[in-house]
Structure 1
Amino acid sequence: MHALRAALADLVLGVRCAGCEAPGRALCDTCRSEIGHRAAVRIPDPAPSALRRPTPVVPMSLTPYAGVVVPVLHAYKEEPRTALAAPLGGLLADAVEAAIGRCTGEEDPHAAGPVRLVPVPSRRSAVRARGFDAGAALARSAAADLRRRGLPARAAPVLRVGRIADQAGLTAADRARNLAGAYRLRRPLGAGLVVVTDDVLTTGASAAEAVRVLTEAGSRPVAVVTVAATRRRLGRAGDGSGSR
């Protein structure tokens, strides 16, 4: 129902930018450029142990969760304006390329071979309320964009989530307890580099649970890649987070 109302609004009012309300596109060039800063490693502090052991998992995002990216991601997930999946997927693809280059040491990320983008799973109640799976749609869009660039990428929504409380307002410790054991693997992953994807990295609890489950199944991710990362948890000096 929400998705239908959003589509009708765009039909009646015309497509408008989710960041600045300029007519013509779901995300205008100016707002896209503001979100698409140079991708950087932004590490939650404290970093969940699943992102550190047995091997480091690089947390890469395009921008701090501030400014224009906030209304854009809200519009995508909560209105919901599903047309934003394409431009946001392109931005996520930029960050995936940067993460792969950093993790593999390859100047050309296309040399890394096949890539599997595993979205952090959404609660079933959230999917029903929105009318679509925002995380899976974002991963599919990013994978399609990467394939157009010549990188053999596929979205792999292989995780499912059990009954958990809403994460909003929970502390880092509460989020970790809420998610402990919450994810399950639907099916094994094929060969390739595994990258966990999401829209925003906050405390890292959701990403860490996804990494834990995949690691136990023998598919240790090399990176967690998001469009944005919250600024309220700052990385320590010298960790390269850029989230200040």
Structure 2
Amino acid sequence: MSHADPARVEQVRANLHAARARIETACLKADRDPSEVSLIAVTKTHPASDVRILASLGVTDVGENRDQEAAPKAAETADLGLTWHFVGQLQTNKARSVASYADVVHSVDRAKLARALGERAEAAGRRLTCLVQVNLDEDSRAGVIGPRGGVDPADALELAARVEEQDALTLGGVMAVAPLGGDPSQAFARLKGVADRIRDRYARATMVSAGMTADLESAVARGATHVRLGTALLGDRGPIVG
């Protein structure tokens, strides 16, 4: 492997420092301990060399949202001992591939997908942590999955039960994306309500994956345990790969 470009290392280091400072400030404002909030570096459209730079700077959690980009990148950086998070919408026919490298799947939004991931993880001898993706659009209706994915809040407990019944899956908690154009604080408050209901029934399902570069402060104020940052760390995305 060629050595990383020193200028790129310094750029990512500065971005990471700034992002961690934002998380810390948001935690202090919300009267939370910064150690309660984990940073997931979303590296979509950025090369594996950036994953190596992030790892060298102490990042252990890396996220991707497209299997065709994530699978080769995970293989290329397998020596780093990272935790891989799959955060994008997922077709059932990709379950076998994703179950082979992902440690956490954030985007489980239907029972059929939970079943497919459970079967594929079991066949691969692996265990996956799965989050129920919740649709926070105001007009979310039962059974209708919106353009960004997610189950209606009213159906989240039922889907959590479908995840929990798969032997190779561990129910980790919930994930959501703030609606476009809406108030993220209001949306994340709705998510907190869903997260609390699921945790009341499944005590270990404590993860709340919410907040991205634009709205991490609102997410932290409403109980996020994991924020997914891409642009804040690596800059604007290049062209889609693959």
Fold shared by both chains (TM-score > 0.5): no
Where relative contact order (Cα < 8 A, 6+ residues apart) is larger, the structure is 1
TM-score, structure 2 length as denominator? 0.37
Greater per-residue helix proportion = 2
